[in-house]
Structure 1
Amino acid sequence: MTSLPQGYRALVIGASGGIGSAVAAVLQADTACGELLSLSRRIDGFDVTQEDSVAAAAERLTGEFHLIFCATGGLTIDGVGPEKSLRQISADAMMKQFALNALGTALVTKHLAPKLARKERALMAFLSARVGSIGDNHLGGWMSYRASKAALNQIVRTASIELARSHPLSVLLALHPGTVATSLSEKYSGNHARTEPVESARAMLSVLNGREAAETGRFYAYDGQPIEW
């Protein structure tokens, strides 16, 4: 993370998950990182779907951050996985997908993006998914998950415009991590090769670190390739 100042402060949200813990490990190993903080539901009871939880966590965090990485999200929630057809759509399951993937992103952005450094380069990223791309959807299925990630992308895009006014050196991105070897993808990877979490984390941090302020609000894959909305 050489473009960030020596001794930069970082925050990883969802740090107890497969990708979140890998991101935290990569940052912990970076000698330029001065302080690394983390939040997770499993360890801290941090719940991105509850505004009181997000607001309370934000209030406890003091000072500015140069990097905030939100690695929360879900594909299977309460035992319900992605739909294979329209007949399988459940209002309850869809609302839970939106609560975690979309509302969670909005609440984290609302309460924590203001804590990014204002006068120095600052980076913030959220885990999206290639299947959240509307233009790249050629297979159908997975409606709730796809739609919730598409909503996440819109939230990131919209927030980046507002954030640029108060934090002109900031970069806010939606990132596709690839098919990562975590419990989330285990049942759905099929014959696709899966990337180790630390490898994906390094790649996404490199993509984030390589973007300029003029590129804020965009959607990238872990290999640095832009993904259409």
Structure 2
Amino acid sequence: MTVLAGIDHLNVLIVGASRGIGLGFVRQLLLDTRINKLYATYRDQESAIELISLAEQFCDRLVILGLDVTNESQIATAVAKINSEITQLHLVINCVGILHEDKLQPEKSLKQIEPEHLIRYFQVNSMGSVLLAKYLLPLLRHKQPSIFAAISAKVGSIGDNQLGGWYGYRASKAALNMFMKTVAIEYSRRCPQTIVVTLHPGTTDTELSQPFQKNVPSNKLFAVERTVNQLLIVLSNLNLNDSGKFFSWDGSVLPW
């Protein structure tokens, strides 16, 4: 990664790494010999079998932590654990997101709005990243370049919304974008070497998108490995002037 190219020993945190894009980042980053420590979080141990297996295989470099991003005390505990082992992080990517879960489904019309579902969307998709930013600031406040990225979604762009629907998911991703934009402003003062961005990964073949893939053209449905590689390229091309922006998988800047 160009912005981090001059650093020989990188410390990385991937939040939400038990499956999908998060797990893909872990697999890809383990191939980078410059990475000294790779921390990866999971919420549910039963769904983290592959991640746990990787941790056993790469026990000298990969450290896994249980973490629910909707629980502030768990975030504080996880960050304290990381801080007990290292003093700096160079790359943080929050991959946690929810689109459907049990009775929670994207709304097609106003009559399907349920307040408790909206709260759940905001807890997972919006609040997690800003709480991470709150606790991770000391680990990102150093003289070397660093990146704090959160996986957003193009449907969270207000300017790009032409279809409507998906009220909770759209709004929670728009809120995520605002949180991260605001974090970028504060970080520019308090840890000025950190670039803060949100990323649209494109439609990726994961559990999150599976119920909605039938209308997606085959050339627009990306394998996890492709998405991860594309986003790593975007991250590698960032500079400090890009902090606070919303990037698509192809490197283009998306409207708010």
Q: Where on the TM-score scale, by shorter chain, does this alignment land: which range? A: over 0.9
Question: 2:16 aligns to what?
Answer: 14
Q: Secondary structure at the match of 1:178?
A: coil
CA contact (8 A) 1:177 1:200 kept: yes
Q: What do you get for the CA RMSD once the two structures are aligned?
A: 1.2
CA contact (8 A) 1:122 1:170 kept: yes
CA contact (8 A) 1:102 1:152 kept: yes
Q: Secondary structure at the match of 1:207?
A: helix
User: TM-score w.r.t. structure 2 length?
Assistant: 0.86
Question: 2:245 aligns to what?
Answer: 218
1:190-211 deviation line (CA, Å, top 9, x unaligned): 3313101111111112111211
How many residues are matched? 229
Question: 1:208 aligns to what?
Answer: 235
Question: 2:40 aligns to what?
Answer: 38
Q: Secondary structure at the match of 1:164?
A: helix
CA contact (8 A) 1:77 1:96 kept: no
After TM superposition, where is structure 1 displaced by more than 3 Å over at least 4 residues in a row? none
1:133-154 deviation line (CA, Å, top 9, x unaligned): 0000000000000000000000
CA contact (8 A) 2:3 2:239 kept: no
Map 1:9-158 → 2, pairs under 5 A: 9-43=11-45, 44-62=65-83, 63-158=87-182
1:84-130 deviation line (CA, Å, top 9, x unaligned): 01110000111000000011111111112331152001011101000
**Identical pairs, percent:** 38
Letter in 1 for 2:255: E
Question: 1:2: how far off?
Answer: 4.2
CA contact (8 A) 1:46 1:57 kept: yes
Long gaps (5+) in structure 2: 46-64
CA contact (8 A) 1:118 1:166 kept: no
Question: 2:187 aligns to what?
Answer: 163
CA–CA distance in structure 1, aligned partners of residues 81 and 36 of structure 2: 19
CA contact (8 A) 1:77 1:97 kept: no
**Larger Rg over CA atoms:** 2
Long gaps (5+) in structure 1: none
CA contact (8 A) 2:2 2:237 kept: no
Q: Secondary structure at the match of 2:88?
A: coil
Alignment of 1:185 with 2:212, yes or no, is: no
Q: Secondary structure at the match of 2:253?
A: coil
Alignment of 1:228 with 2:255, yes or no, is: yes
CA contact (8 A) 1:123 1:209 kept: no
Question: Of 222, 225, 243, which aligns to 1:198?
Answer: 225
Question: 1:17: how far off?
Answer: 2.2
Question: 1:42: how far off?
Answer: 2.0
Decide which moves more: 117-126 or 148-157. Answer: 117-126
Letter in 1 for 2:20: G
CA–CA distance in structure 1, aligned partners of residues 151 and 23 of structure 2: 13
Question: 2:59 aligns to what?
Answer: none
Letter in 1 for 2:149: A
